[in-house]
Structure formats: structure tokens, C-alpha cells
Amino acid sequence: MQKILIAPWGNFSSWKEVIYLFDGIEKESESSLSAIYESIKPDKVYILVLDTLSKLESENYDEIVKEVKEKTEDFIKDKLKIDNFEVIVCPGVGTFFDRDTNRTYKFLGNLTDYYSFALYELSKRLDGDLEVHLDLTHGLNYMPVLTYRVIRDLLEALSIKNKVRLVVYNSDPYVGREKEKLSIHIVEDEIVKPYYDFKGINVEFLRTVGFIDKKESGNLKKEINMNPKIKELKAIKQNINVFIASIVYALPLMYSTFYIKNEKIKPYLDEIVNIFQSKIKINCDDKIITRPLFLTENFNSLVMAWFISKVCELEEHIKEELSIEEIEELADTIFRENKYVQFVKREMNSIRNIANILVNEYGIEELEKLHKKWVPIYKFRVDKEEKFKFDNFLAHGGFEKSITQIFISDYTIEKEVIEKDGKIKEKLKVKLSKKETRLRYNPEYIIEENGIKKFIFNYTNKKGELEKIDIFKELEKELLNKK
């Protein structure tokens, strides 16, 4: 299991050297990171700092990031003697006075951009079985709480398929005494449990801040809406929401049939961040940085969609048909802690017994007619009604009888003797092969145009009229309206 150490930092240039005490170690250092590092020996260290550490001497934001990054790297190499680290520069807000330059620096924007950007950056770096150590000692103002939220959100998703542990640290406060001894405390140490209540995405991934004028705001919105990548993203949004819903509601066949590869989502995230950063204005004379755009909750949901796509990818299960055995494997892996998995398990029990109703009601001949053919599940029901009901779709783990087909290629029949009310009665019992019995959605209802999929159920009502039900639309609505 890989160990990662993450720490949000404020302005390290003002830190004093103290003695940090942790796990039997006394470490003289300017940062608590040194003692924790020596104790846990992490494979990688990630330091999160704010762009507010910049002197704002360039109008190019990439140069601002480079300046802060190099300054932080020099401090770590010189003071902490650590080499397996990476510095991540995040957007910050606030007004700061620098005594060295006797200047006031203003960073105008939205505070939540820190969370969104840190989520985006760390989602690219967390993978597999993981032990994350989070040191909140040096975080400034909003940094500790938002960093903790980022880590918690990512690890709860990561633990869907992986073993994940989180350890959180904080030290005694520094009060200004020379060579003060400060103890580092473990605030939290737990095995992280999976979380499935992910949010769906709407169309607005960037918004304008309230302090810019209406004309500039209107121009920015128009430019964003005309961006080709944003247009593509709006078109594929529903497909992404369907994938999210397959994880939220434990729908194995929706997951396997309509899975979206993380590589398909990633370019849209990169483009949104590129737009966000490209509009940042830097006034070197007045020492003001202005971010006219901010990243929305929809951006955060898109990051999580990309991340869970990466986490939950089981290549051998991504296909249009699944055997009962494969469905049960999904129920025991990525859906194992999902509260809706009970519907999947119940439905698999029902499907394993599906032929019994048919055989005992109509005889073996009826089963033989359906043997080795793709047959809608409703054909095995006594009512044999072909009508899609969305409530049934969720209640049956996505295996709604009107849209789901079953292929029975191998079965055995046994006679079972039952005594009831003093009478002996023979009953036939059909056993289906879990490996050879497969399920799929009726391909006639699945349409794909320009890489965008739709799932439309068509049926003829009692008046003889053709009606259509957009299953993706119903599922997306359920996801977006959930509380």
C-alpha cells in the first residue's frame, strides 16, 4: 500500500525553527512535516500552496505559478531536505501586506476555487490502495477545512474499489518562544468507507464573479458558450450523468453497457481549467490579481465523474452482455457497500428462478421455445405485460422486464416432491447456469449518433398508438433531483 503525505501551507517565509515531537522523534525544523516524514517515510509528498505568495511581477499567470512553485521548492530542499515531493499551486483570495516590499497585494476571486482546483489536481494523483497522511498544521485560514474536504471526497470515492486509510495531524500552536517544543497530534486515523451519493452535472461549469461589470460578464459567458469543447460537453452531459447514476443507484447493466472512459471526460476538465486560468488578470503596478470566473459545483461533479470512472474501471465487465456470475461479481466489488445493492442481489435470485414460473405454469415446451434465444424478461412473467415503469427500473437494480433480455444456454431440470394439505404434488425445478445465463438491454432501444448514446423504449399502447419513454432522461432527472 502506497503512503502519501499531503500538507496545505500558508506563508512559510515567516516560520521559525522549533522542536517538533512525534512518535518518539524530536525534530528541529521550521515545519511539522519533517517529523511526520521521518516517522512514516512516505512514497510521495504533495504540498499545496496559494498563488497569494507571489510578488505579482509578471502579467503572465503561468509565470506567477512558476515563481511560487520555485520559491516553495527551494524552501523544502534547503530547510527540510526532502526530495520526493511535488508542489501544487492553488488559487487563493485575500488582501495581504508585505513588510519587505511595503506593498499591499490583493487577490480577488472566489474562495471555493481553492477546493475545486485542489480536487482537480489531486484527483490526477490518487490511485490504488492508499494510505494518506494529511498534515493540517500550517494551513492558512480556509485551507485546512477545504483541503480536508477534498481529501475526504476523493478517498471515499477511491475506497469503492480500493483499501484506503486516512491519518490527519495537527501540532500544538506556535506562540513565539525560541526553540519551543511542539507536539504533533493524530486528529483522525480511520479506514475510509465508500461513498456513493455523487451529484449529477448541469451545464454551467464556469460562472462570472459578482464584482465585474455586466458587459464583461456577458462577453465572458458568450465566449464560454461558443467554446467548441464546452458545446461537446453539454451534448455528452446526459451520458455522463447516466454513468454517475449507475454508480449511485447500483445498476450493474447500466454501468457495463454505458460506461464512459475517464479519457473521454479528462479533455473537458482541462479545457475548463484552461479557460478559468486564461481569463485571470494581473495588475503588476497596483499588485492586484483578478479572477473574473469561478469554478462551479458542476465542475466539481465533473471531476468526481472522471475520478470514479478511473477508480471503477473493470475492463472485463465493460460490455453489452453480463452473465449472472459477472453481475454478482460487480455486486461484490464496486457496489459492495452501496445501499441499493440489495435490489441487485434480490433480482439475481429472482432471475435464477425465472424459468420455474414458466415451466410450472405452461410446461417444459414453453422453456424449450425460448432456449438459446435473446428473450425479453417479461415473456417469463405470468402477466407478460410489455410496459416500462421507471420505478420498477430502480427497484429491480436496472433489470426492468420490458427492456432487459435474457439468454438461457444451459439449464437442468429436477423434480421436486411437495406435500401440501395432505396431498403429494410434483413440481419441476429449473436450475440456470450462472456462467452461461446472460442479460443485456434490448439493442433495438439503444441509439448512438456522433458518440452520444440514447436509450428509448418504444411500445404500443392500448389505443394502438406508438409511445416512447426516454430512459436516460428519466434517470438523469432522478439523479439531479435527489436530495
Domains and CATH numbers, the chain: 1-195 (3.40.50.10640), 331-441 (no CATH)
Secondary structure class of 261 (helix, strand, coil) = coil
Q: Which residues make beta-bridge pairs with 470?
A: 456
Q: What's the rounded Cα separation, in Å, for the pair 24 and 40?
A: 12
141-176 per-position pLDDT tens digit = 999 999 999 999 999 999 999 999 999 999 998 876
294 confidence band (pLDDT: 50, 70, 90): very high
pTM of the model as a whole:
0.93
pLDDT (0 to 100) of residue 361: 65
Q: What is the pLDDT of residue 177?
A: 65
**For the chain, what percent of residues have pLDDT higher than 90?**
78
Q: What is the pLDDT of residue 370?
A: 74
* Residue 12: per-residue pLDDT: 93
Residue 384, pLDDT > 60, answer no
Q: Residue 317 has what DSSP assignment?
A: G
Choose among 378, 361, 240, 260: nearest CA to 318.
Answer: 260
Looking up cell 530547510, which residue turns up? 79
Which residue, 245, 404, 397, 250, is CA-closest to 333? 250
Range in 144-148, 176-180, 220-224, 323-327 the model is least confident about: 176-180
Where is pLDDT greater, at 362 or 201? 201
